[in-house]
Structure 1
Amino acid sequence: MAMRRLFLRNSKIFVTNFGNNINITKSALRITSIEKHKYIHTTTVSFQNEESRAVVQANYFERIENKNKNTYLDMVKIFINRDQIYRRGHVEFVHSALKHMEEFGVHKDLEVYRALIDVLPKGKFISTSMIQAEFMHYPKQQKCILDLLQQMEDNGVIPDREMQDLLINIFGKRAFPLRKYWRMMYWMPKFKHANPFPIPEDLTNDVLELARMAIARISGVDPTATITEYHSKDIEESIDDTWIVSAQSPTQQSLLWRHNPKEPVYVEGAYKVWLREKQVNYFILRANATPPPADIDSYDEDDVTNIKINLFNLKPPIQKHIVDRKTVHEQDDGTIFAICATGTSSKDSLLSWIRHLEKNGNEVLSKIPVVFTLRSAPSELMTQSQEGKDGTIEVSH
């Protein structure tokens, strides 16, 4: 009642004070009086929309010159201290903060993710019934935290118990972010150490060390494989001065010695292998697949359609032919004799690799034609006409 009397008695003063506080012209504001209710109507936009507020929040992170963990957490603390009760604009702030995490180098830091979750006000978004919980009470805020948890999962960051307490204080025990947290806590620890080829969390930037790790990872299918490091400058005719990381097993050497000298072998690549976010190019030395002998029927060891059950002292079926079991290097698309990674991934470095293989127990390569079928980079497409339409180069010994 007191407010209504104020509207009626001091309408001009109200217009002046209200317009000055929110920057609205006097002509845009008028008070409509009805018998029971009084309304305030304006024709101008008084508040910013969500997109403009998100742009403002994003500018905070872009203006920082020294981008590290300390400055990132300082920005979070400044936002929290500015409005400690309502935390207005917290959803836009968290979304913009997630976009700039990789720039600050904190996209794999658990402490930073906890600080972002702590931005949301506590107790306001807790559902009071099952209906509210299942219909995603406060969906905008829950979707924001779901995006944060998904980014944690993509970066391999396992949450802790403190994050569970934060989610319960913000959304309650029935919210979707807490369900996402429980799924992450169940599956991520199980898969963390399930990789048979573990990679360090913090990879080095040394290209040679990355090449060693990549070649060891690929050649790990054969425990007898030996990794050798060559230098192209040891070859007199070499042009490039770079390193070569090669892997070959005794089984591959025996396969190369049994290879028909009249059939060529191929140097193919570059293929890609990923070590977390870093890529390494490698090449292979292979030959065409060897067809099975014509007088031996094809026998599939995995075929279970004609299983003979050994009952009543019946003898098991005896195979009429005995053949050598294929090695892991004899694939359906070809036989792999060696793999390597070079510092320049150039044709000259690969030619030096072949020369080094000849000197280290593969003298038979001097009698076999070697064909380079390399994938040219986009910048080398103009010089492809000098090499041939298919990009092949034959090396004669």
Structure 2
Amino acid sequence: MMASTSLLCGRASSRTILTFLSSVNRTLHSPVSTQTLPRHIRRVSTSSVLEAARKEDDTQKTSLSIQGYFATKDRTKETFIAACDVFKDKNPHLRGHVEFVYAALQHMEEYGVHKDLEVYKKLLDLMPKGKMIPRNVFQVEFMHYPKHQQCAIDCLDQMELNGVMPDSESEEILMNTFGMYSHPVRKHRRMLYWMPKFKHASPWRLPESVPNNAFELAKLAVTRMCTVDPSSVISLFETKDVEDAIEDTWIVSGQSPTQQELLQNHPPEEPIKVEGPFRIFLRDQCVGYFILRAEAKPQPPPVKREYIDDVGSIKLWFTGDLEPDDMALIKPTSVHEQEDGIILAICATGTSGRDSLLSWIRLLVNTNPNLANVPVLFTQASPVGDVMTTGQHDETTSVKTVP
């Protein structure tokens, strides 16, 4: 009797399961409009969870109540931290913290705190602790609370963009918020691994905050570019020392003894050019510089040596008979002789004007006497100030330098 009862129960349960599966199959294959589905189901069915979080977040549009926290005219680090404290005090449950963090990320550069690690940790600490920690492997991989995790990842991305290196305290904040194996913590650990490597990869070290003074930036830029030749000399000039100079500014010039030798041996009939301005970036600052360039010379053909195994044709040095190939010695090219031209000097001026560049050429004549006999072409498209010229073209002006 008990066996028959259990058999009937087993058949009933199997029938129930089959009925449930058939109903699910009909539901999945039925032409139901996505407009009748709940909002979260429509989002998951059309895209991944991560893409849905990115589409749902609109960092450009925030409510007026959130924007009011950053409406003060006194935009300093203290007022920014005070706005975060006011938001935390007025909202103990931290509702709307994602919107507040996105609004804060937009205003960080205005407050001058976009490179401050303490402020980033303050923003990450605004997220509630405990409830967003995943409880199983499925919640970990499917990005539990995707909107909030994406907000933390965007905050870390802005830190990486501004060169702010995280520390162990920021990792602890993320672990207490999202758990050890969450996506923000993985992002944080990748930053801890790669950012120190990239920070010390360049041999041209710069201070953490480069100066805002244009003269100091020009010295840093020219010194950095002249390290290609350790014998280069950095010279500082004033245009007021040049007779008939129109602009009163400074000039930072860099030239090596090898470049002076190349300029001294340059044929007087071949013109050289002042090209620029080119750009070099020192962190977030940009400096324009100019180069004095000559046309590249064709390289001599390589020496061809024939190796003959016949020992009877060997000529000894003490007989005085040398092979012609042994006399054909080729002087190695310097680092300044490139395929597209020969770099003879480099400079940065305070105005980047045509008159300041003409003053630079006249000052170079003091250490390069042959430059007074060589025609110089200025390829700057828009001249600043009046320049004495011997010929006017569309974008090129030929100037005969005088000592």
SS of the aligned residue for 1:112 comes to helix
Seen in structure 2, the aligned counterparts of structure 1 residues 119 and 273 have a Cα distance that, compared at 3 Å, is: same
TM-superposed CA distance for 1:53, in Å, is 7.8
Amino acid at match of 2:86: I
Structure 2 residue aligned with 1:277, among 278, 284, 297? 284
Kindly indicate whether the alpha-carbon contact (under 8 Å) linking 1:57 and 1:96 is maintained by their aligned counterparts in 2: no
Kindly indicate whether the alpha-carbon contact (under 8 Å) linking 1:273 and 1:279 is maintained by their aligned counterparts in 2: yes
Aligned pairs for 1:356-371 (under 5 A) are 356-359=363-366, 361-371=367-377
TM-superposed CA distance for 1:265, in Å, is 0.7
Q: Give me the whole-angstrom Cα distance separating, in 1, the residues matched to 2:236 and 2:399.
A: 25
Q: Give me the whole-angstrom Cα distance separating, in 1, the residues matched to 2:92 and 2:303.
A: 75
Q: Give me the whole-angstrom Cα distance separating, in 2, the residues matched to 1:255 and 1:126.
A: 68
Aligned pairs for 1:1-397 (under 5 A) are 54-85=62-93, 87-293=94-300, 296-297=301-302, 321-359=328-366, 361-376=367-382, 387-395=392-400, 397=402
Kindly indicate whether the alpha-carbon contact (under 8 Å) linking 2:380 and 2:395 is maintained by their aligned counterparts in 1: no
Q: Give me the whole-angstrom Cα distance separating, in 1, the residues matched to 2:57 and 2:270.
A: 68
Q: Give me the whole-angstrom Cα distance separating, in 2, the residues matched to 1:59 and 1:345.
A: 41
Q: Give me the whole-angstrom Cα distance separating, in 1, the residues matched to 2:243 and 2:340.
A: 35
Q: Give me the whole-angstrom Cα distance separating, in 2, the residues matched to 1:220 and 1:326.
A: 18
Q: Give me the whole-angstrom Cα distance separating, in 1, the residues matched to 2:57 and 2:293.
A: 58
Gaps of 5+ in 1: 1-48, 300-307, 309-317, 381-385
Q: Give me the whole-angstrom Cα distance separating, in 2, the residues matched to 1:178 and 1:198.
A: 30
After superposition, what is the alpha-carbon deviation per residue over 1:62-117, rounded to whole angstroms, capped at 9, x for unaligned?
411101111101111111112223x1111110001001000011111111111101
SS of the aligned residue for 1:269 comes to strand
Kindly indicate whether the alpha-carbon contact (under 8 Å) linking 2:236 and 2:253 is maintained by their aligned counterparts in 1: yes
Amino acid at match of 1:388: H
SS of the aligned residue for 2:335 comes to coil
Kindly indicate whether the alpha-carbon contact (under 8 Å) linking 1:288 and 1:333 is maintained by their aligned counterparts in 2: yes
SS of the aligned residue for 1:115 comes to helix
> Matched residue pairs, number?
322
Seen in structure 2, the aligned counterparts of structure 1 residues 53 and 243 have a Cα distance that, compared at 3 Å, is: closer
Seen in structure 2, the aligned counterparts of structure 1 residues 165 and 50 have a Cα distance that, compared at 3 Å, is: closer
| Cα RMSD after superposing both structures | 2.3
Q: Give me the whole-angstrom Cα distance separating, in 2, the residues matched to 1:64 and 1:323.
A: 70
Kindly indicate whether the alpha-carbon contact (under 8 Å) linking 1:247 and 1:339 is maintained by their aligned counterparts in 2: yes
SS of the aligned residue for 1:256 comes to helix
Q: Give me the whole-angstrom Cα distance separating, in 2, the residues matched to 1:289 and 1:53.
A: 55
After superposition, what is the alpha-carbon deviation per residue over 1:242-294, rounded to whole angstroms, capped at 9, x for unaligned?
1111010000000111111110011111111111111111111110001123x
TM-superposed CA distance for 1:50, in Å, is 7.7
After superposition, what is the alpha-carbon deviation per residue over 1:216-243, rounded to whole angstroms, capped at 9, x for unaligned?
0111111000000011111112111111
Seen in structure 2, the aligned counterparts of structure 1 residues 298 and 372 have a Cα distance that, compared at 3 Å, is: farther
Seen in structure 2, the aligned counterparts of structure 1 residues 120 and 366 have a Cα distance that, compared at 3 Å, is: same
Amino acid at match of 2:135: T
Q: Give me the whole-angstrom Cα distance separating, in 1, the residues matched to 2:79 and 2:134.
A: 35
Q: Give me the whole-angstrom Cα distance separating, in 2, the residues matched to 1:74 and 1:209.
A: 35
Relative to the length of structure 2, the TM-score reads 0.76
Q: Give me the whole-angstrom Cα distance separating, in 2, the residues matched to 1:53 and 1:345.
A: 41
Seen in structure 2, the aligned counterparts of structure 1 residues 156 and 186 have a Cα distance that, compared at 3 Å, is: same
After superposition, what is the alpha-carbon deviation per residue over 1:338-374, rounded to whole angstroms, capped at 9, x for unaligned?
0011111111111111111101x20001111111111
Q: Give me the whole-angstrom Cα distance separating, in 2, the residues matched to 1:61 and 1:223.
A: 53
Percent of aligned pairs with the same amino acid: 48
Q: Give me the whole-angstrom Cα distance separating, in 1, the residues matched to 2:375 and 2:57.
A: 67
Seen in structure 2, the aligned counterparts of structure 1 residues 271 and 57 have a Cα distance that, compared at 3 Å, is: farther
Kindly indicate whether the alpha-carbon contact (under 8 Å) linking 2:101 and 2:151 is maintained by their aligned counterparts in 1: yes
Kindly indicate whether the alpha-carbon contact (under 8 Å) linking 1:117 and 1:145 is maintained by their aligned counterparts in 2: yes
Amino acid at match of 1:83: N
TM-superposed CA distance for 1:60, in Å, is 2.0
Kindly indicate whether the alpha-carbon contact (under 8 Å) linking 1:53 and 1:92 is maintained by their aligned counterparts in 2: no
SS of the aligned residue for 1:374 comes to coil
TM-superposed CA distance for 1:158, in Å, is 0.9
TM-superposed CA distance for 1:56, in Å, is 2.1
Amino acid at match of 1:151: Q
Q: Give me the whole-angstrom Cα distance separating, in 1, the residues matched to 2:303 and 2:274.
A: 30
Seen in structure 2, the aligned counterparts of structure 1 residues 298 and 322 have a Cα distance that, compared at 3 Å, is: closer
Seen in structure 2, the aligned counterparts of structure 1 residues 165 and 289 have a Cα distance that, compared at 3 Å, is: same
SS of the aligned residue for 2:347 comes to strand
Q: Give me the whole-angstrom Cα distance separating, in 1, the residues matched to 2:252 and 2:209.
A: 22
